[in-house]
Amino acid sequence: MIDRDMPSHHGVTAPPGEGPYPNETMGLLLKRASCRSFTEDDIPTDVLQLVLEAGARAATGGNLQPTSIIQIKDPAMKEWLARKCEQAFIGKAPVLLVFCIDWWRLKRWAELEVAPFSATQSFRHFWISFQDTMICAQNVCTAADAMGLGSVYIGTILEFFAELRERLDLPQGVFPVVLLCLGYPRQKPQPRKKLGVDAIVHSERYHKMEDQELLDAFEAKYPGHVVQVTEQRLVEIAETCREVHGQAFARRCLQRIEETGRISPVQRYFGLHYRASEMPRGNEDYVRHIQECGFHWFEKWSPALDGEGE
């Protein structure tokens, strides 16, 4: 059930820092924020081209570039994606980009040049190509920001991978990772509060935070982020707890809510939004999907020695 009175799971906005920044790039990076509201202005071709060039120039393992970007401008397709993702603003962005891991192109190159190829059977290659694809996407985001555009990633395409693959004609070896909405912002989005450098950077080795230090760090990230306690929310959170950890844990969770008088952001995240009882469901479907895309790295590999390859 959609609970519209709940504060956003995207977190708490923070006033953008005032600088001064040592240069424009640092200002852009330190003030960045996702944008979910776009004007109707199209993105001029030369601007889009430049932004995509920044993606093509991203770092990539071995300089292999196992990434493709599908540009979507067709209103019907944008509407379809907005509906499937259940996020209406997606349909209003002038350009959508689907970033895909792409081993099809490299495989075909290998075939044409008679080179050996096993990348789609290799976890190593998959892992690095996932990173390559996200790094390319992030270069595009930063370039978009620099050109006065706004952007937001959309991860929910994973809920309809198979249909998306079909709609986009993705061949074997191509795997859709993330969608990016691009357009001119209706208003400058406000940056969200984040854990600070103190919390996320460790010196030389991992340093486990003390409990109070950890609670304080999250409290500073979500100041005043109070989810009101309602009967419905208590029922839902208790149900999630029961399903995942049993009755005694559900009682402890409700007791904690009673003691503190609030549903804390982490109880909200995993008890009500990204429900701990739902998120691991369908794992096997995702594995099957990866397989259907032509990847077999989770299976034991044995070489095809018939001389012809696949």
Task: Answer for the pair 35, 189: CB distance below 8 angstroms, yes or no.
Answer: yes
Binding residue for ligand FMN, selected from 93, 140, 154, 257, defined by CB under 6 A:
154
Residues in binding contact with ligand FMN, number by CB under 6 A: 13
| Nearest Cα to Cα of residue 120 among 297, 286, 288 | 297
87 binds ligand FMN (CB under 6 A): yes
The secondary structure of residue 257, as a DSSP letter, is H
239 within 8 A of 276, measured Cβ to Cβ:
no
User: Per CB under 6 A, which region of 97-105, 125-133, 152-160, 297-305 contacts ligand FMN?
Assistant: 152-160
Q: Are 192 and 50 in contact (CB under 8 A)?
A: no
Distance CA 1, CA 164 (A): 25
Residue of the chain from 17, 44, 75, 155 that contacts ligand FMN (CB under 6 A): 155
Q: Which of 33, 72, 95, 136 binds ligand FMN (CB under 6 A)?
A: 33
Give yes or no for residue 273 binding ligand FMN (CB under 6 A): no
- For Cα atoms 89, 153, 106, give the angle at the middle one, nearest 5 degrees: 130
Which of 33-41, 94-102, 106-114, 267-275 is the region at the interface with ligand FMN (rule: CB under 6 A)?
A: 33-41
Q: How far is the CB of 155 from ligand FMN (least distance, A)?
A: 3
**Lookup: tokens for 68:** 């493709």
Cα→Cα distances 12→15, 192, 214, 219, 223, Å: 10, 6, 18, 11, 7
Residue numbers 197-256 binding ligand FMN by CB under 6 A = none
Answer yes or no whether residue 156 interacts with ligand FMN by CB under 6 A. yes
Please say which residue, 97 or 154, places its beta carbon nearer to ligand FMN. 154
**Nearest distance, CB of residue 145 and ligand FMN, angstroms:** 11
Task: Give yes or no for a contact between 148 and 184, defined as CB atoms under 8 angstroms apart.
Answer: yes
- 192 sits near ligand FMN (criterion: CB under 6 A): yes
Closest separation in Å from C-beta 250 to ligand FMN? 28
Contacts of 269 (CB under 8 A, 6+ apart): 9
Which residues contact ligand FMN by CB under 6 A?
10-11, 33-34, 36, 87, 152-156, 178, 192
